[in-house]
Structures are given as C-alpha cells and as structure tokens.
Amino acid sequence: VQLLESGGGLVQPGGSLRLSCAASGFSFSTYAMSWVRQAPGRGLEWVSTISGSGGTTYYPDSVKGRFTISRDKSQNTLYLQINSLRAEDTAVYYCAKNPTSLWTQYNWFDPWGQGTLVTVSS
Amino acid sequence: EIVLTQSPATLSLSPGERATLSCRASQSVSSYLAWYQQKPGQAPRLLMYDASNRATGIPARFSGSGSGTDFTLTISSLEPEDFAVYYCQQRSTFGQGTKLEIK
C-alpha cells in the first residue's frame, strides 16, 4: 500500500490549491480516504474524509465551505481542493487510508502518505 | 465533540526503561481508540487500533489497554528508535501528543 501526495506549495492569502494523493497497492474504491494536516510544530488535525463510493463527505466546521474532498476511482487518486486560503492553513497535508468504506467510530488512519507542504503567505 | 487529553506532555526516560503514556477521553469511546508514533520529518505511523490491537509490523514491546475513557500505551523496554511523539486518536479527534525524549 502506498500513498503519494503532491500539489503543495507557496500560495498567497485568498488563493486556491488542489492537492492530490495517488494510491496504489489496494482496492481504492473499497476504502474511505482522509486528509489530516499538521501545522509547523503543532499536532494533528483531521480536515476531511470521503466514503469509498465517493458519495459522502465529512468535514470539521473549521474548514467546511472552503475545503472539498473528492476521489477519482479511474485514476486511484484522492483530491483536496482548498479555497480562500488563510495563513492558518499553512501545514503539511497528509492523505491516509481508513479501515472501512464508511466514516464511523470504528476508524483509524493507516497508512499515511509522506505529506505535502502548503504555505500561505504574501 | 470528544476531547482527548494526553499525559504527560513530555516523558524523559532512558533506553531499557518502561514507558507509560496516558490518553483520557471526555466521554466514553468504548474501545475505539488508536495510537500513532511520529518521528521528526516523518508521517505518523499507526501503532495500535481498537485500543489493544497492534498494527502490522509493530514490535511486541508496544501494548495498549483501556476502554471507556481511560487508555494507556505501554512500551515495555525502550529502544533508541522509540523516542518520538505519540498521539492518540478517536474518529476525527487527536490528542495533543506526548513527547518521549531521552533522559
């Protein structure tokens, strides 16, 4: 199982960015997938999950309306569209695989990609 | 929303010693708790899931226990590579982390 993120970079406040996560080594459509971020020197923060089918998405209130998670089963790729970027969005963004197709209490993140750094600054 | 509180914030021990890390939930989470290890510059790695199940490839010196609101991650005899930051997690919530450092 391998996850490889890309798409990070330096963006001005108010800008947009789309992160990608290429998945391999498992049946991509069978599992929910998530994004978790980590600001410099800080802890881990969950920012979105999408069900295995792609039909259901989940976000914390802190990013709802600005972040959009999606998946392309034909490309085995997970995406995170981030709009209206703020300085506090500066972080390493990790994609991770969930253990089932749904977002439930029975949940953990394994494995994780290596992360992609998003820096929001003028 | 569930809050996870980890203690201590920092734990200073020597190789060969036993480490005990705590995670307390603000309400019962049954056994739905995971633990991760993160080393500098690396992604987190799953250690335990469902409170007491070791993830694939995790050495037997790591063990997890607890249910309800109180959970423990124990490292029976510290190896040099075990010094890292450890996080607990339940669904969408992570604890703030415990830094395990060399004394």
**What is the arithmetic mean of pLDDT over B91-96?**
97
Q: Report which residue type is found at B79.
A: E
C-alpha count within 13 angstroms, C-beta hemisphere, residue B72: 9
Q: Which residue of A has its CA nearest to B43?
A: A114
B14-33 pLDDT, tens digit each: 999 999 999 999 999 999 99
pLDDT beyond 90 at A105: no
- Using a CB–CB cutoff of 8 Å, tell me whether B45 touches chain A: yes
Average pLDDT for B62-79:
98
Tell whether B47 is within 8 A of chain A (Cβ).
no
| Range from A82-86, A99-103, B9-13 carrying the lowest mean pLDDT | A99-103
- In this complex, is the C-beta atom of A111 within 8 Å of any C-beta atom belonging to chain B? yes
Give me the half-sphere count of Cα atoms (radius 13 Å) on the Cβ side of residue A95. Answer: 30
Paired residues of B10 in beta bridges: B99
Q: Indicate whether A63 pLDDT > 90.
A: yes
Is residue B44 over pLDDT 90?
yes
Across the interface, of A45, A60, A110, the residue whose CB is closest to B55 is: A110
Chain A: give the shortest CA distance to residue B100, in Å: 15
Question: What integer best gives the mean pLDDT of chain B?
Answer: 98
Q: Give the mean pLDDT of A37-62.
A: 97
Between chain A and chain B, the number of residue pairs with CB atoms below 8 A apart is 54
pLDDT score for A56: 96
Dihedral class, residue B66 (left if φ above 0, else alpha if ψ from -120 to 50, else beta) = left
pLDDT value at residue B39? 98
Amino acid at site A58: Y
B103 touches chain A (CB under 8 A): no
DSSP, res B82: G
**How close B19 comes to chain A (CA, Å)?**
21
pLDDT at B60 over 90: yes
Measured CA to CA, the distance from residue B16 to residue B78 in angstroms comes to 5
Give the gap in angstroms from C-alpha A97 to the nearest C-alpha of chain B.
11
> Is a pLDDT exceeding 90 seen at residue A40?
yes
Chain A CB contacts of B45 under 8 Å are: 111-112
Asked if A8 reaches chain B (Cβ–Cβ under 8 Å), the answer is: no
| Spatial separation of the C-alpha atoms in residues A46 and B7, rounded to whole Å | 21
Kindly list the distances between the CA atom of residue B21 and the CA atoms of A42, A76, B1, B17, in Å, as whole numbers in the listed order.
19, 37, 23, 13
Reported as a pLDDT band with limits 50, 70 and 90, residue A106 is confident
The whole-number pLDDT of residue B54 equals: 98
